[in-house]
Chains A and B, each alone.
Chain A
């Protein structure tokens, strides 16, 4: 494994996480370039979500290095610090702020001062309004801006959450199962949305849906039992005998 260089955005080396003796991550190593979109697949329990937890500061690894950008050690920071650095996360189950309107959800997610002493006095600025309008357009939610987020359909909530990630203007987006429970049309639109996002952001997508991963057409990392089993294009990994065994041999 090479040391991080200037183009490296995320660098995980030999990361191990153990829960009560169960190795959720087992000497996992992964390198991502700036501007890259990466799909991470793997069977249940392969460590996909734990990997996201480690990157976003929710879980501390027992050992290993997690470096972001030029030498920021993520294992020493907590969730808000890591979010402030520019890592955004979308959860498997859409979690938006249900009682708030779509507009307010975006407003709260917009990058800016997060301290109580600021938000207590904050007024919406023209710049914020413009940014929210742009996000509404990107996520196709313009018509629903006044709608309570809790009243949105499942797919719309997923987009709202992706839009909220964009509002944070992160360097890296971690997206956990974005198309779970979506219709085919929504899935296709989501793939398009992610590709659009990838033009200006680096993205890690964790997904089960192989058709969706194929539609993304990016480098794929296959996790199994907490470490990388195979890496390469979707055709490369689906031809890998080890991957076939893990997926079909069960």
Chain B
């Protein structure tokens, strides 16, 4: 982990986002320098994935918690944002109901369920984006870490968690739009979502959120807290005999990671224009783990790199040869596991650092 790569990554992410936004707004559609709006949204989407990857790396790379359900926190953050965006539609929906979103009118609901109240307020919705994934993670983590559930067992439970949420959100009577999810958004904070400037703004916001998450994560893993965390990852019972409580450390970083994933999801939804239960599908969480493995587990910057590279590859391949994508992803995972176990960044770093020679001399008698 070094300062330089983190600084470089922050610079590229934020600088790149501003550059793309400027080229989108400041050039005419025919100009060779023009960046079309779909590229802006696409890059914005990648940056949100990178926030999720960062969240996964924080728990997997530094605390040894392999979460196979992290996309659940991403999706929940997304739903919280989606609920706000739904309420913003107001009377402009297909059914013209000023209070009820279209799907509720369609289901013959007469009034707004209690948990939808407050989401018309952007401040409230923003707090929920952080709070709901955070509280769910707190509850889940408290139970799991206190009972010393770890390793494969924990991974399986996280997978079960996201699968359970997938099934729950598919149900119409949950009140989240069933399998169609939430969509047809009109505006965010009163800015029209279809406008280029709004899309540029969201791209820049995603870049800033990613940069802030990266700096925060870097600050944490290089602090003494982070050193304890790494110790817990590699020798959990030893930390206990020294007097640390690994479950507290894991819970802190787990909740933080969930909140981070939630922020990623909240920025993702307005840029793709829809949130539906498929975001909870286990494959999404596994894909996030692959991003981190490809980029380099425990490197933070690698997670960002992996998320962007693999997602860009996915965009290209699903366009060119749609049926090949899943095979390619599987092959990539096998390739990385066998030949690049420390990921792209790990491989780059190993080249710089010559192995430290062992001392040949015995200490003097």
Contact surface of A with B, Cβ cutoff 8 Å:
56, 58, 78-80, 83-84, 88-89, 91, 95-100, 104, 107-109, 111, 114-116, 119-122, 140, 143-144, 147-148, 151, 153, 156, 164, 168, 183, 185-186, 189
Contact = CB atoms under 8 A, between A and B. Distances in A.
B223 A121 contact: yes
Q: Which of B225, B237, B248 has the most CB of A within 10 A?
A: B225
A80 B244 contact: yes
B106 interface: no
B108 interface: no
A83 B241 contact: yes
Contact of A98 (B228, B234, B248, B358): B234
A144 B359 contact: yes
A151 B353 CA distance: 14
Interface of B: 220, 223-225, 227-228, 230-231, 234-235, 237-245, 248-249, 252, 355-356, 358-359, 362-363, 365
Given A80-B243, A96-B238, A97-B234, 14 more contacts: A80-B244, A88-B242, A97-B231, A107-B227, A116-B225, A120-B220, A120-B225, A121-B223, A122-B223, A122-B225, A148-B356, A151-B356, A151-B358, A153-B359
Contacts of B359: 143-144, 153, 156
24 contacts: A58-B237, A79-B241, A80-B240, A83-B240, A88-B241, A88-B242, A97-B234, A97-B238, A99-B230, A100-B231, A108-B228, A108-B231, A114-B243, A114-B245, A119-B228, A120-B220, A120-B224, A122-B224, A143-B359, A148-B356, A151-B356, A153-B358, A185-B362, A185-B365
B224 A119 contact: yes
B302 to A, nearest CB: 16
Contacts of A78: 240
B210 to A, nearest CB: 22
A114 B227 contact: no
Contacts of A100: 227, 230-231
A226 B225 CA distance: 40
Contacts of A99: 230, 234
Contacts of B248: 115-116
Nearest to A150: B234
Contacts of B225: 116, 119-120, 122
